[in-house]
């Protein structure tokens, strides 16, 4: 995991390529495969996730393992908010439950900055968790990639 293999699309972004990058990010995180997900980030990527600071793939992988060990049946939807040459702003929501069966919907925003290889070099995430009843869940696709015909985030009014 020490290479920076390029991942298109590359900056500068257009509406089409920024949207592609967001969906690719969503699909990766919905795989819940920390090693695979980490390859979308530069080797020396810098994160702020809530109040935790993560630097590099060597810290990203265990961070994601801990996350998905705790956030069970994780299903995520991301939506493009804005973009510039090498930056993308995203809003998202995901649903999950803990090992006691308590359900949550987590809402947040991410700011991404990409290097010339299309790898994310900087990620800032702000996230709020809201307890929900299982009956309030909205994301029901089989674990993994959200189907193309499944509604996006805006359709839920979140």
Our count of domains for the chain comes to: 1
* Cα distance between residue 29 and residue 15, in whole Å: 21
Residue 3 lies in a domain: no
Under a CB-based contact definition with an 8 Å cutoff, are residues 41 and 123 in contact? Answer: yes
Under a CB-based contact definition with an 8 Å cutoff, are residues 91 and 156 in contact? Answer: no
Residue 130 lies in a domain: yes
CATH of the domain at 137: 3.10.450.50
| pLDDT tens for each residue of the chain, 158 residues long | 457 899 999 999 999 999 999 999 999 999 999 999 999 999 999 999 999 999 999 999 999 999 999 999 999 999 999 999 999 999 999 999 999 999 999 999 999 999 999 999 999 999 999 999 999 999 999 999 999 999 999 999 98
Residue 155 lies in a domain: no
Range of the domain at 36: 15-142
Using the structure block, give the residue that is written with the tokens 């509406």: 15
Residue 138 lies in a domain: yes
Residue 156 lies in a domain: no
């Amino acid at each position: 995991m020490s290479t920076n293999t390029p991942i298109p699309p590359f900056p500068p972004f257009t509406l089409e390529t920024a949207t592609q990058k967001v969906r690719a990010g969503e699909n990766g995180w919905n795989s819940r495969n920390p090693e695979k997900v980490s390859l979308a980030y530069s080797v020396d990527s810098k994160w702020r996730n809530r109040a935790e600071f993560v630097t590099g793939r060597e810290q990203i992988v265990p961070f994601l393992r801990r996350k998905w060990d705790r956030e069970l049946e994780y299903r995520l939807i991301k939506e493009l908010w804005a973009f510039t040459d090498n930056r993308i702003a995203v809003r998202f929501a995901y649903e999950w439950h803990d090992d006691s069966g308590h359900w949550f919907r987590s809402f947040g925003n991410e700011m991404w900055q990409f290097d010339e290889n299309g790898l994310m070099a900087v990620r800032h995430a702000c996230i709020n968790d809201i307890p929900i009843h299982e009956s309030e869940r909205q994301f029901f696709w089989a674990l993994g990639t959200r189907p193309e015909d499944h509604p996006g985030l805006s359709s839920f009014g979140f």
